[in-house]
Amino acid sequence: MSGAKSTGLARAAELYSVRGQRARELKQEGKKIFGYFCCYPPIEIMTALDIVPVRILGNMDEPITIADGYLPPVMCVFCRSAFDIGMKKSYDYFDGFVGAHACDGAERTALIWTNYIKTPCNFHLDIPHTAHNSAVDFFKQQIAYFQQAVEKFIGQKISPEALKDAVARHNRQRALVRDLYDLRKPDPPLISGSEMLQVLIALMCIPVEEGNVLLEEVIQEVRERPNVQAKKSRLLIWGSLIDNTAFTDLIESSGLNIVVEDTAIGTRPFWHDIEETQDPLDGIAEHYLKEVLCPRTFRDSGPSYQEDSEMRFGYLKEFAKYWKVDGVFANIIRNCDVHGYEVPVIKDYFAGLGLPVLVIEQDYSTAALETLRTRFQAFAETIG
Amino acid sequence: MEKKEFKTKKSAKTLQTAREAGYFGKKMLTSALEAQKEGRPIGWSMVTWWEGDLIAKAMGMELVYPENYGAFCAAVRRAEPYLEIADAEGYPNTLCGYARNCIGYTKTLADNNLEVPADAPGGGLAKPVLLISSGAACDARYKWFQALGRYLNGVPVWTLEMPQTGLKEFYLPGNKEKNLAFILEELKEFVGFLEKLLGNKMDYDRLEEMLAQTLKTLRLAYEVDVLRKTVPSPMVSQDFWSVMIPHLYLPEDPEAYEFYQKVYDEVKTKVDNHIGAIPNERYRMMFSELPPWHSIGFFDDIAEKFGIAMVIESWNYHAIKPMPAEELEGVTDPLEVIARLSYHKFTEDNDTARRYDASPGFFNARYLQWAEDYRADGFLAHPLMSCRPATYTLLHTKNSLEEKLKVPGVVIDGDIIDLRVFNPDEAFSKMEAFVETMDHYRELRRKAEMAW
Ligand code: SF4
Ligand code: SF4
């Protein structure tokens, strides 16, 4: 790739479209590359050992064929797709594989993965279901095991200073991502949902320092360029992740501007900084279990339905206000239970804020996308 | 999906005791309704593999199990209206069938001022003061109860923790003890929570009694499993799916223990007299995971026609293997015994998984062990439209059995609630073809000088 030459959004677009390319180059240079599932494995630990963490995603363009013999069709299609392209050697450059008990689908896929796709180092990270204090302690221990496993593989210990430094670099990335999100506040936003997605996915395929440079370039470029976006209704996306611009393009060409996405590739990994604690693992455990706001974590129930909803989704009210949202798209990848069970409560909650919600269950396939266009167009008309 | 009339097909069951087991399902529902009349607190609980139930019951709660109620509503053909309500409420129809049944039911309960509707199947589920969720094995089992907040405004949900580390990680130095310590810590929290909610103190003597009885019942249920290794098989899945209710839901009930003594005696008599559950046993098969409740009679048909005995089944419904003595040595705190007991359910097959290099240990490795122990000729995988967690590992298990033990598998689609997914004619033809596959693999095992 002519990666070194392009910068900013163009560079993000390149990294997005040939996702393993940069990691493969780095591997040639002697770096170790680890793949990880979901937004829960602490990437700071990998960074501290100079390992490049690469987020495992699926491929909406690729028909699922091989996975049919391993993962049944009732499983989340995203997981099946990730496994399918894994079997097709898309991730054959990994030196390590980190599975996680994020949701059933991701957990079982990761556990089955290691039977068929071999990598020199494997770790499966358990994640408790609650955010109780003892759960945070337990999670910290599991992260410590993860750290030991990676240290053993690399043959080097992580000093507390190195870990603190990695935390600081990733926090810097989080702050930069939030700065970029701020540029979606104007109407029309200064950066489109598709461009944003390219940047965020690019960050998940390269070392943190490169990502931070990229973000600085992108922020500067977006601030300085003339705004070419048209004024449209402003959309918040909540739910299962979106990892293909074909989807965001479809939405944005249907009369909507995506301004914020509460998903596993959107705000969730970036919205909160890891606190600098004396033992860095305390801050890391707290952050991932308590502050990554995915409905896979059970938060203690409130004294009434309304208060419970407020406790769980209050941040969405802030998002809606801050980005002056007109409507919400609840994106459910078919068979995604952790989001599926939330659909009526999410609708209730946004209805309380006067915001309409479009719920779509989709099959994680670009081939099936076009059929959704009329639904987005109709929604845009309703809220426009 | 094409809507067609579906006939349920009950099984004749081969054991007399299996025919009597329905008593326990009814007992659970009526006890809760009586408790409601008497003003005693009622909890709705997921199957927690004894982790939460004993504690809640020792605190004076009467428990009912909406998962079981889902199976009941499906069996009496009353689930459909509830599923339609859940759909109308906006829940994706891909969610767990039991959950959708329960959501629909709970909406009718809420619409009726939280009084059980007069026409509710089996007398209905009385209004709970608490929902006991479990994170073990399935996300639905806490997301579903959380979702009920829309209808049971303010009824608290408690989510029990069950660590699920990977296989290799389970063996990391100290990890098992740390997992147990975490469960124990959480159980203490749970007790504190219950004491506050119910306004009374935990009766530890009662808990110990219940626990002792539970361990006895589980051991006896396990002994029955052991007897089933005999050829010809003295008991088949059609029987097990009835007799499992007491050990899964009511193991602390002395009546459950007495019942298992009868089951044991009946099965033992058959073993001693070389009487097979089916008269013409030619093929021994394993079944995974949740059965088509409405069509258990299908297994009678394949027994009669092909001589197929379903000799062992449904890992998740089975009693645990007794814990090694050292596991409980010096353990006096009943909460710790419970932690160890429930954790054992999810980790007892890790050694097998390691031996076969086939993870995960739960839902999967047991079938490798069972194939050897029960001399299995085949594996029937039953993927369910609406219970994903019980379906995720099926193809992987099928692959492992074929590859590692030359035991072939057949896949027959079905569902726990939606009767239309299971096509008995198609299933029957599949089994007809599969018989030849089993013959072929038998030959392969013989050539490889395997034990069966
Ligand atoms: S889309 Fe849903 S089911 Fe799939 S990995 Fe994400 S959270 Fe899990
Ligand atoms: S999905 Fe399966 S395991 Fe989970 S609650 Fe439903 S029936 Fe039970």
Rg (alpha carbons) of chain A, rounded to whole number: 20
CB B385 within 8 A of CB B241: no
Q: Is the peptide bond before B289 cis (omega within 30 degrees of 0)?
A: yes
CB B429 within 8 A of CB B409: no
Alpha carbon distance A114, A129 (integer Å): 23
Does A243 map to a domain? Answer: yes
Report pLDDT for A228.
83
How buried is B189 (Cβ within 10 angstroms: 0-12 exposed, 13-18 middle, 19+ buried)?
Answer: middle
Ligand 2: nearest atom to the Cα of B388: 1
Average pLDDT rounded to a whole number, residues B369-389 = 95
Q: Is A131 helix (H, G, I), strand (E, B) or coil?
A: coil
Ligand 1: nearest atom to the Cα of A333: 1
Beta strands in B16-108 (DSSP E): 42-45, 62-64
Nearest CA to ligand 1 atom 6: A240
Residue type, A24: R
pLDDT digits (tens, 9 = 90+) for B418-447: 777 889 899 999 999 999 999 999 999 999
Average pLDDT rounded to a whole number, residues B128-149 = 96
Whether A359 and B90 lie within 8 Å, measured CB to CB: yes
Alpha carbon distance B214, B253 (integer Å): 8
What percent of chain A is modeled with pLDDT above 90?
97
Ligand 1: nearest atom to the Cα of A78: 4
> How close does chain B come to A13, measured CA to CA in Å?
34
Report pLDDT for B295.
87
Q: Does B415 touch chain A (CB under 8 A)?
A: no
Residue A276 has pLDDT above 50, yes or no: yes
Which of A104, A115, A134 shows the shortest C-beta gap to B182?
A134
Report pLDDT for A1.
46
Which of A112, A301, A335 shows the shortest C-beta gap to B157?
A301
Determine which of A76, A103, A109, A134 to mutate to test the interface with B (most B C-beta atoms within 10 Å).
A134
Considering its fold, how many domains does chain B have in total?
A: 1
What tokens were used for A219? 């922020």
C-beta A103 within 6 A of ligand 1: yes
Does B10 map to a domain? Answer: no
Q: What is the mean pLDDT of chain B?
A: 95
pLDDT band at A321 (very low <50, low <70, confident <90, very high): very high
Which ligand is nearest to the Cα of residue B49, counting in written order? 2
Average pLDDT rounded to a whole number, residues B189-202 = 98
CB B222 within 8 A of CB B322: yes
Which of A72, A99, A298 shows the shortest C-beta gap to B166?
A99
- The alpha-helical segments, DSSP class H, found in chain A are 8-17, 21-28, 43-48, 77-87, 104-116, 133-154, 160-182, 193-203, 208-224, 245-252, 280-286, 305-322, 337-340, 343-352, 373-383
Nearest to B383 by CA among B394, B372, B367, B371: B394
Does A139 map to a domain? Answer: no
CATH of the domain at A250: 3.40.50.11900
Does B63 map to a domain? Answer: yes
Residue B4 has pLDDT above 50, yes or no: no
Alpha carbon distance B418, B80 (integer Å): 8
Does A371 map to a domain? Answer: yes
What tokens were used for A38? 């979901």
Q: What is the ipTM of this complex?
A: 0.96
> How close does chain B come to A69, measured CA to CA in Å?
7
Residue type, A200: L
DSSP A66: G
CA distances from A127 to A103, A143, B175 (A): 9, 9, 14
Does A202 map to a domain? Answer: no
pLDDT digits (tens, 9 = 90+) for A330-369: 999 999 999 999 999 999 999 999 999 999 999 999 999 9
Helix axes B334-347, B175-198, angle to 10 degrees: 130
pTM above the 0.90 mark? yes
Which ligand is nearest to the Cα of residue A71, counting in written order? 1
CA distances from B50 to A104, B47, B63, B288, B324 (A): 21, 8, 12, 22, 18
Domain housing A336:
224-383
Considering its fold, how many domains does chain A have in total?
A: 1
Domain housing B235:
16-447
> How close does chain A come to B162, measured CA to CA in Å?
8
Average pLDDT rounded to a whole number, residues B39-64 = 96
Q: Does B149 touch chain A (CB under 8 A)?
A: yes
Report pLDDT for B5.
52
Does B1 map to a domain? Answer: no
pLDDT digits (tens, 9 = 90+) for B296-342: 999 999 999 999 999 999 999 999 999 999 999 999 999 999 999 99
Does A59 map to a domain? Answer: no
The residues lining ligand 2, judged by C-beta closer than 6 Å to any ligand atom, are B 67, 96, 98-99, 138, 140-141, 387-390, 416
CB atoms within 10 A of CB A382: 12
Residues of chain A contacting residue B167, judged by C-beta atoms under 8 Å apart? 111, 124
